[in-house]
Amino acid sequence: MCGIVGAVAKRNITPILLQGLKRLEYRGYDSCGVALHVDGMLQRSRSTARVAELEAQVEKSGLSGFTGIAHTRWATHGAPASHNAHPHFSRERIALVHNGIIENHDELRAELKAAGYEFESQTDTEVIAHLVDQMYTGDLFETVQQAVKRLHGAYAIAVFCRDEPHRVVGARQGSPLIVGVGDGENFLASDAMALAGITDQIIYLEEGDVVDLQLQRCWIVDSDGKPADRPVRTVHAHSGAAELGPYRHYMQKEIFEQPRAIGDTLEGVTGIMPELFGDKAYDIFKKIDSVLILACGTSYYAGLTAKYWLESIAQIPVNVEIASEYRYRDSVPNPKALVVTISQSGETADTLAALKHARSMDMTNTLTICNVATSAMVRECALAYITRAGVEVGVASTKAFTTQLAALFLLTLTLAQVRGRLSEEQEATCLKAMRHLPVAISSVLALEPQIIAWAEEFARKENALFLGRGMHYPIALEGALKLKEISYIHAEAYPAGELKHGPLALVTEEMPVVTVAPNDALIEKLKSNMQEVRARGGQLYVFADADSKIASSEGLHVIRMPEHYGKLSPILHVIPLQLLAYHTALARGTDVDKPRNLAKSVTVE
């Protein structure tokens, strides 16, 4: 979601800005643009198509320069149209890009209109551009420091001025922004990946920081205007998304990468040791009395699955909360809780805010599970476990989810051990099962041809129900989310026991009901729920374990998974649901990797 790149150099920076935008494309966007300082003037090019189109447009116009900014936009205020695309200009003097939401934009717009400013867009961003122009003192760095004090909400901005060539000013509050330090040139970007191959010397700006980028200067002040000494880190970012190889879409590739991703995530786990989560992990794990998991979307479902594991294996009470709810509701803080945030990018705005909210209430035992070692969440938490899924390009998360589950299972075992609830024998059995996961997943992936046949049927439907029980209920939720995200079929998930309390009213012969049916202690209960569906003519599509004795019959379609995989079974059972969503979307001809209205790292509230 939204990408920012900025540069000040002695060479033409247009290719650097466009290349940076391409590397940020995986985050999802609906329009893009670039602005440069050209012969004492501001010039820009914007497009509602892909960055490649923008590149062609820029090439045609011959746009080039030494100072500039670029942006991929995921619209929050104003339609995805070229007049709303960034960069925004103010009076041909200020050029600005922004990631985030300015909450007091209405008030500022009214004030600026009264002062004679004309608005070309419906965005909240244009307000900042005019505000900077209105407050301009002749020194952009000084002006931006004052201007951001008027903003309420979240922002990462990059701005330059016609009258100050070789200067770009950046600021962040609630949205990510990094500085890339070069040799006689300096850069800004939403993440280090955008600058891969340009510089690996990265400074992570902190909340409230404002940075002055010039050719030989990279000067940062904090929110009080005091010089801020931020460390320069060497970051070896991958140079963008990997090749597609034999796959048609990144989502398909990422589904098939799961054996490798899980193997990498658990590599180095030779035993259950708190240190896997950080130096202070043992001390923190020893003193906690409960776990509070904060997350959004798919990561929230990973958290829900972990609740079943943690309570049954580690016997510790767990609450799982949707981050955007937790951050705004009155809750009773428990300083003895372990606060666990889960996020693929480690930058998810709601989760980050929920973490800060928890900390502001003295909940300082914090752990994050995330896929980006340099992310804000890792920096903000006392402990971290980095999943090693690799870059996930598809907007619909797959390998990030299963690697989160692997990390959460490891956390469960670790807490169980610290609490004296894990025998050596159990530890050995669990470790063996974890090590075997890549092979077990591969055998589930081999079911793809059978799932494709089901997907042909699903493609003709407009609604679907997903059922699961126990720790497979969150897996049903994830399956329904995958299907709606990329195929746009309305799908809902229920704990199977809830059917009779309402959703059964929806069941007709037209309603496919996907059932996650592992051969666990609840299988007989689940079979009864399936009968309830069949009795109303519903079509059952059941993913059953090989040993669960459920056979296909009229209206009951069965795909057999490998034998029951015990507590780790959710990791296997989500995989056919990912494939079902993928192939259904493919059959419906949707844009699988970039579903409408959605973006990847969700850095706005």
Does 104 contact ligand HGA by CB under 6 A? Answer: no
Q: Cβ closer to ligand HGA: 74 or 256?
A: 74
Active site residue 32: no
Smallest Cα–Cα separation from 369: which of 295, 301, 420? 295
Q: Cβ closer to ligand HGA: 571 or 599?
A: 599
Q: Cβ closer to ligand HGA: 95 or 291?
A: 95
- Angular region, 165: left φ>0, alpha ψ -120 to 50, beta rest: beta
Active site residue 600: yes
Centre a 10 Å sphere on the Cβ of residue 67 and count the other Cβ atoms it contains: 24
Angstrom distance (rounded) from CA 530 to CA 509? 14
Binding test (CB under 6 A) with ligand HGA, winner from 43, 90, 99, 214: 99
Q: Using H for helix, E for strand and C for coil, what is the string for 516-562?
A: EECCCCCHHHHHHHHHHHHHCCCEEEEEEECCCCCCCECCEEEEEEC
Residues near 238 by beta carbon (within 8 Å), at least 6 away in sequence: 193, 196, 390, 391
- In this chain, which stretch among 120-128, 198-206, 266-274, 501-509 interacts with ligand HGA, using CB under 6 A? 120-128
HSE (side-chain half, CA atoms, 13 Å) at 65: 28
Q: Which pair of tokens denotes residue 379?
A: 């920096």
Binding test (CB under 6 A) with ligand HGA, winner from 14, 19, 45, 123: 123
Q: Cβ closer to ligand HGA: 185 or 347?
A: 347
Does 1 contact ligand HGA by CB under 6 A? Answer: yes
Chain residues 20-79 in contact with ligand HGA, contact rule CB under 6 A:
73-78
Binding test (CB under 6 A) with ligand HGA, winner from 8, 33, 95, 124: 124
**What's the closest the beta carbon of residue 29 comes to ligand HGA, in angstroms?**
7
Smallest Cα–Cα separation from 211: which of 191, 187, 194? 187
Angstrom distance (rounded) from CA 308 to CA 303? 9
Q: Cβ closer to ligand HGA: 85 or 526?
A: 85
**What's the closest the beta carbon of residue 347 comes to ligand HGA, in angstroms?**
12
Q: Which pair of tokens denotes residue 598?
A: 């959605």
Q: Do residues 215 and 185 make contact, with C-beta atoms less than 8 angstroms apart? A: yes
Q: Cβ closer to ligand HGA: 101 or 507?
A: 101
Catalytic position from the list 22, 461, 594, 600: 600
Shortest Cβ contact with ligand HGA: which residue? 2
Smallest Cα–Cα separation from 131: which of 151, 147, 146, 120? 147
Binding test (CB under 6 A) with ligand HGA, winner from 6, 20, 33, 100: 100
How do 383-386 and 366-370 pair as beta strands?
parallel
Does 125 contact ligand HGA by CB under 6 A? Answer: yes
Binding test (CB under 6 A) with ligand HGA, winner from 8, 13, 69, 101: 101
Smallest Cα–Cα separation from 191: which of 3, 365, 381? 3
3-state secondary structure of 374: coil
Q: Cβ closer to ligand HGA: 101 or 580?
A: 101
The footprint of ligand HGA on this chain (CB under 6 A) covers a number of residues equal to 16
Chain residues 70-89 in contact with ligand HGA, contact rule CB under 6 A:
73-78
**What's the closest the beta carbon of residue 303 comes to ligand HGA, in angstroms?**
25
End-to-end CA separation in angstroms for the chain: 11
- In this chain, which stretch among 94-102, 447-455, 530-538, 549-557 interacts with ligand HGA, using CB under 6 A? 94-102
Annotated catalytic sites, by residue?
2, 600
Q: Enumerate binding residues for ligand HGA (CB under 6 A).
A: 1-2, 73-78, 98-101, 123-125, 604
